[in-house]
Structure 1
Amino acid sequence: MQNSLFIKAAFSQPTHRPPVWLMRQAGRYMKEYLAIKEKHSFLEMCRTPEIAADVTMLPVDLLGIDAAIMFSDILVTAEAMGGKLRFENGAGPRFDNPVRDKAGIDALLNPDVPEKLGYVADMIRIVKQRLNGRIPLIGFAGAPFTVMSYLVEGKSSRDFKITKQLLHNEPALAHELLSKIARVTTDYLNMQIEAGADALQLFDSWAESLSWDDYREFAHTYVSEIISGLNRKDIPIISFCKGSSVFAPLMAQAKPDVISVDWNADLAALKRSLPKGIAVQGNLDPHILYAEKRVIKERIYRLCDSMSEEDGFIFNLGHGIMPDMPFEHIKYAVDLVKEYKWQK
Structure 2
Amino acid sequence: MADTHQNFPTLKNDRILKAARGEPVDKIPVWVMRQAGRYLPEFQAFRKEHDFFEICQTPKLACEITLMPIRRYDLDAAIIFSDILVIPQALGMEVIMKPTVGPVLPEPLKEPSDLDKLNTTDVVSRLKYVGEAITLTRTNLEGKVPLIGFAGAPWTIMSYMIEGGGSKTMANSKKWFYKYPEESRKLLKIITDATIDYLVMQIKSGAQLIQVFESHCEYLSLDLFNTFVAPTLQQISSAIRSQGFKDIPLILFCKGGLFCLKEQTKLGYDVLGIDWTVNPNMAREIVGPNITLQGNLDPVALHAPPAQIEKLTKSMKNAFGNERYIANLGHGIYPDAPTDAVQSFINAVHNA
> TM-score category by the smaller chain?
over 0.9
Deviations 1:94-142 (A, max 9, x none): 1122112222112212142442001000000110001122210000000
Q: Is the 8 A contact 2:151 2:195 kept in 1?
A: yes
Q: Quote the residue 2:143 is aligned against.
A: 133
Displacement after TM superposition at 1:270 (Å): 1.1
Q: Quote the residue 1:334 is aligned against.
A: 346
Q: Quote the residue 1:14 is aligned against.
A: 24
Q: Quote the residue 1:239 is aligned against.
A: 252
Q: Is the 8 A contact 2:13 2:146 kept in 1?
A: no
The question of 1:76 aligning with 2:94 is answered no
Displacement after TM superposition at 1:272 (Å): 3.1
Q: Quote the residue 1:158 is aligned against.
A: 168
Deviations 1:316-343 (A, max 9, x none): 0110110001111111111221223xxx
Q: Quote the residue 2:44 is aligned against.
A: 34
Runs of 4+ in 1 over 4 A off after TM superposition: none
- Write the distance in 1 (CA, Å) between the matches of 2:173 and 2:116: 17
Q: What amino acid is the match of 1:253?
A: K
- Write the distance in 1 (CA, Å) between the matches of 2:110 and 2:317: 45
The question of 1:288 aligning with 2:301 is answered yes
Q: Quote the residue 1:317 is aligned against.
A: 329
- Taking every aligned residue pair, what percent have the same amino acid on both sides? 37
Displacement after TM superposition at 1:282 (Å): 0.2
- Write the distance in 2 (CA, Å) between the matches of 1:207 and 1:269: 19
Where does structure 1 lack aligned partners over 5 or more consecutive residues? none
Displacement after TM superposition at 1:3 (Å): 6.8
Higher mean displacement: 10-19 or 279-288: 10-19
Displacement after TM superposition at 1:2 (Å): 9.8
The question of 1:307 aligning with 2:307 is answered no
Displacement after TM superposition at 1:14 (Å): 1.5
* TM-score with structure 1 setting the length: 0.96
Deviations 1:43-72 (A, max 9, x none): 111111000000000111101200000000
- Write the distance in 2 (CA, Å) between the matches of 1:245 and 1:21: 22
Aligned length: 339
- Write the distance in 2 (CA, Å) between the matches of 1:331 and 1:94: 33
- Write the distance in 2 (CA, Å) between the matches of 1:187 and 1:100: 26
The question of 1:262 aligning with 2:301 is answered no
- Write the distance in 1 (CA, Å) between the matches of 2:76 and 2:260: 27
Higher mean displacement: 196-205 or 161-170: 161-170
Q: Secondary structure at the match of 1:140?
A: strand
* TM-score with structure 2 setting the length: 0.93
- Choose which of 273, 276, 281 in structure 1 pairs with 2:286: 273
Q: Is the 8 A contact 2:90 2:124 kept in 1?
A: no
Q: Quote the residue 2:217 is aligned against.
A: 207
Q: What amino acid is the match of 1:317?
A: L
Q: Is the 8 A contact 2:29 2:76 kept in 1?
A: yes
CA distance 1:2–1:59, shift in 2 (3 Å): closer
- Write the distance in 1 (CA, Å) between the matches of 2:36 and 2:80: 9
Q: What amino acid is the match of 2:163?
A: E
Q: Is the 8 A contact 1:80 1:111 kept in 2?
A: no
Q: Is the 8 A contact 2:13 2:145 kept in 1?
A: no
Q: What amino acid is the match of 1:320?
A: G
- Write the distance in 2 (CA, Å) between the matches of 1:165 and 1:248: 24
Q: Quote the residue 2:3 is aligned against.
A: none
Q: Quote the residue 1:5 is aligned against.
A: 15
Q: What amino acid is the match of 2:324?
A: G
Q: Secondary structure at the match of 2:265?
A: helix
Displacement after TM superposition at 1:89 (Å): 1.2
What does 1:207-226 correspond to in 2, within 5 Å? 207-226=217-236
Q: Is the 8 A contact 1:285 1:317 kept in 2?
A: yes
- Write the distance in 2 (CA, Å) between the matches of 1:25 and 1:194: 23
Where does structure 2 lack aligned partners over 5 or more consecutive residues? 1-10
